[in-house]
């Protein structure tokens, strides 16, 4: 009887663990979902207008697509890193052109806060 309860407990814990892993891995698994999440978060923080939301969505979506393709590519160590850095610089300049001066300040504060939260995890 004790073995049955022990086995049942292990099965329940295993089931809960696998469900949690599936939920977290499927949450933001496409560039579109990632871009949508970021734009929604930014909308709440820096009050974007509709044109800015559309522009930022396009920029983030392209950035995530390129990043995903670089992750899938198994070759090119240093060249891959340089390409990624140039892509980020290009995204930064496009983001800066979309936002107003005040929004840029808030955007970089938001970005800094996200980095500090990620480093704590």
Q: Is 100 helix (H, G, I), strand (E, B) or coil?
A: coil
Model's pTM, two decimal places?
0.70
Residue 29 is encoded by which pair of tokens?
Answer: 């698994």
Q: Is the pLDDT of residue 21 over 70?
A: no
* CA gap 84, 90 in Å, rounded: 10
What confidence tier does 45 reach under pLDDT thresholds 50, 70, 90?
A: confident
Percent of the chain clearing pLDDT 90 (strictly above): 45
């Amino acid at each position: 009887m004790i073995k049955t309860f022990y086995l049942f407990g292990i099965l329940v814990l295993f089931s809960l663990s696998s469900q949690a892993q599936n939920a977290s891995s499927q949450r933001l698994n496409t560039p579109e979902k990632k871009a949508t999440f970021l734009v929604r978060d930014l909308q709440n923080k820096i009050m974007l207008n509709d044109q800015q939301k559309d522009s930022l969505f396009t920029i983030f979506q392209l950035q995530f697509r390129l990043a995903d393709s670089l992750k899938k590519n198994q070759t090119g160590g240093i060249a891959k890193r340089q390409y990624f850095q140039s892509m980020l610089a290009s995204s930064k300049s496009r983001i800066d052109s979309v936002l107003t001066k005040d929004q840029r300040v808030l955007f970089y504060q938001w970005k800094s806060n996200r980095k500090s939260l990620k480093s704590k995890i």
